Structure 1
């Protein structure tokens, strides 16, 4: 049995970078859709401000990118 250590290391490196990148993009999507903390004078009757339209659009783009990456991974496994 002969193991190609260079190829194994390359697969490990690429999968590590892609995993960290995908988690970062998903985290940006979560942050983009989260509520922003209100000021110190915010009360129960005045809820914290929600995300802006630009932040929400960016978050949806991040989620779409994550879904595309997962779909591409499934395609690679099936094909």
Structure 2
């Protein structure tokens, strides 16, 4: 029995990288939805919470833009999972 350690290491590295990227994209999606909700509530109340403005002074963005970015992150995760299922089945 011969184990191709280079191939095993390559598969491990790619799997780790894709996992970190997908978890990061999903976390960005959750953060974007959270910030969109917080911004929408602040606009409805007529106040801007301190957490909505980053330390650099730049605004957090409009709720629609934040929601769109969050949905794009979720779509990326869904596409990656769908492609993985396709590769397993094919």
Q: TM-score, normalised by structure 2?
A: 0.71
- 1:54 aligned onto 2:56: no
Larger fraction in helix: 2
Residue number in structure 2 paired with 1:32: 32
Residue number in structure 2 paired with 1:77: 88
Aligned residues: 69
Q: String of CA shifts for 1:29-77, please: whole Å, max 9, x gaps.
A: 000111338637xxxxxxxxxx710000000011011000000000000
Aligned partners of 1:25 and 1:62: how far apart in 2?
A: 5
Aligned partners of 1:21 and 1:65: how far apart in 2?
A: 10
Unaligned 5+ runs, structure 2: 43-48, 51-61
Residue number in structure 1 paired with 2:14: 14
- The RMSD of aligned alpha carbons is 1.7
Residue number in structure 2 paired with 1:48: none
Runs of 4+ residues deviating >6 angstroms: none
Residue aligned with 2:38, SS: coil
Where relative contact order (Cα < 8 A, 6+ residues apart) is larger, the structure is 2
